[in-house]
Structure 1
C-alpha cells in the first residue's frame, strides 16, 4: 500500500513538473507575441509620424522584420 501511495505521489509530482514547464513555455510565447505586436505598433506609428510618405521599400523592410521574428517563434525557436 505504501509503495502504491509513493508511486502515486511520484506520478503527481512528475505531472506537476510537466505542467509547470508547459506553463513556462506558454508564458514565453505570450511574452514574445506581446513584444512582437508592440514592435509592430511602434513601427506603424513611426511610419505614420514620419515627415515623408513611407516607400514600398520601407513597408517591405518592416514586413520582413515581422516575418523573420514570427517565423523564428513558429518554427519552435521559443521552448
Structure 2
C-alpha cells in the first residue's frame, strides 16, 4: 500500500470523526436552548446530514471519474 493511500485513509477517518462529533455536539446544543418556537426532530436532522454526505460522496466520485476518463473522440 502506498503512503499516499495510507495517508488518505487516515485523513478520511479523521474527517468522518470530526463531522460526526460536530453533528452530535451541535444537535445537543441546539436542542437544549430555551426557545419559544417549535423544536426540530432529531431524526430529520440526521436524515439531512446523511443526504448531504451522500451528495458530497457522489460529487467526489463523479469528479474523480471525469478527471481520469479518456477523452471522447
Structure-2-length-normalised TM-score = 0.54
Structure-1-length-normalised TM-score = 0.51
Distance 1:25 1:34, change over 3 A: same
Determine which structure has more spread, i.e. the larger CA radius of gyration: 1
More helix per residue: 1 or 2?
Answer: 1
Runs (5+) with no aligned partner, structure 1: 1-17
Other-structure match for 2:21: 38
Off by >2 Å, runs of 4+ in structure 1: 75-79
SS in 2 for 1:45: helix
SS in 2 for 1:51: coil
Number of corresponding residues? 57
Q: Is 1:54 equivalent to 2:64 in the alignment?
A: no
Deviations 1:2-41 (A, max 9, x none): xxxxxxxxxxxxxxxx510111110221122111111211
